[in-house]
Copies of this chain bind each other. A is one copy, B any other.
Amino acid sequence: MGLTEPDPTDEVLRALAEPRRRTILRLVAHDEMSAGEIAATFEVSRTAISQHVTVLKNAGLLTERRAGTRRLYRARPEGLAGIRAFLDEMWAGALDTARRLAEAERGLSDDVDAERTG
């Protein structure tokens, strides 16, 4: 057990931090597509796309189904749950802080106004 436990959030974000991989995800968000069909969409080699698909699969963002010699892929929305939670927490927390600060600043300029009018 010398392996450091990999953070699932980290793997998902690294997988998403690549334009082509996001494009692949969008391609298979609704319709199931074969590896060849996906690769045909791009202008890079089929090998490159296969590697991207592997990354997405390992990150839990894709499901694979075999049909004959073909492999059909589809987006797996649950794979996004982790970073959605991360973002929501960050968003809510920071936004709440921002609101609190806005209030404080408003209070401050009220004081200034009072000083000016006083």
**Cα of A94 to Cα of B98 in the assembled complex, Å:** 32
**Cα of A43 to Cα of B77 in the assembled complex, Å:** 36
* Least Cβ–Cβ distance between A10 and chain B, in angstroms: 6
**Contact status A87-B97, CB under 8 Å:** no
The reply on A30 being an interface residue by CB < 8 A is yes
Option from B7, B22, B30, B91 in Cβ contact (under 8 Å) with A97: B30
The reply on A35 being an interface residue by CB < 8 A is no
**Contact status B87-A83, CB under 8 Å:** yes
- A residues adjacent to B (C-beta < 8 A): 7, 10, 13-14, 16-17, 19, 22, 25-26, 29-31, 74-77, 80, 83-84, 86-87, 90-91, 93-95, 97-98
